[in-house]
A and B are shown apart, each in its own frame.
Chain A
Amino acid sequence: DTGVSQDPRHKITKRGQNVTFRCDPISEHNRLYWYRQTLGQGPEFLTYFQNEAQLEKSRLLSDRFSAERPKGSFSTLEIQRTEQGDSAMYLCASVMALYNEQFFGPGTRLTVL
């Protein structure tokens, strides 16, 4: 399977714990995006990388959130001191340079108790 993959698919955690999600993009795609989707809403942009450089962060991304893409391949999204309001689907997407259509992974469903 050469699509975008995300791990884990589901994560249940207690408030105050740290969680980390991983995204593996399509191999030749140089841009990688993170989005968050809550119930009844469309995905909302969080941040994106071009190769290993993080080029933009949404104001939605509080200082408890950090994302990395150390070698320009996979990316991680960490949430520290989780809150119940962090419960959402976290989606990763990738796209090849000069193309416009982003390809999404299956998402990581986070539930904060």
Chain B
Amino acid sequence: DQQVKQNSPSLSVQEGRISILNCDYTNSMFDYFLWYKKYPAEGPTFLISISSIKDKNEDGRFTVFLNKSAKHLSLHIVPSQPGDSAVYFCAASVGGNNRLAFGKGNQVVVIP
């Protein structure tokens, strides 16, 4: 059963515009959420995270929003840059520092 879901598998965005990636989860026990970026032939790279006690976390161009009542989180990248072209995975865990449940990923293409 897919506990973390990422719809809209691919996204194309113009350089300088905002990229918005969405993620939904079904397990109400999840209390820590992470976003990873993955380039081909490399392992996932940690991007940003958020604890369930917060509803927003910002790090430079990346902001993650968490809506616990809707079991939904989103990643905003602004402004988008060509180097952001990659697959983005949403992940969640129970209790932090524990096994991660991943979504299927979103392919982002930033057009120069």
- Point out residues on A near B: beta carbons under 8 Å: 4, 6, 31, 33, 35, 40-45, 48, 56, 91, 93, 95, 97-107
Contacts and interface: CB of A to CB of B under 8 A. Distances in A.
Contacts of B79: none
B100 interface: yes
A97 B98 CA distance: 10
B49 A101 contact: yes
B103 A42 contact: yes
Size range of the interface on B?
20 to 34
Interface string B82-112: 0000000101010011011111110000000
A56 B94 CA distance: 14
Contacts of B97: 31, 95, 97-100
A42 B49 contact: no
Contact of A91 (B4, B44, B91, B101): B44
A100 B41 CA distance: 24
A4 B93 contact: no
B34 A101 contact: yes
Contacts of B96: 100
B32 interface: yes
A41 B96 CA distance: 22
- Most B CB within 10 A of own CB, among A31, A41, A42, A105: A42
Given A42-B105, A106-B42, 8 more contacts: A35-B100, A41-B104, A43-B100, A99-B97, A102-B100, A103-B46, A104-B43, A104-B46
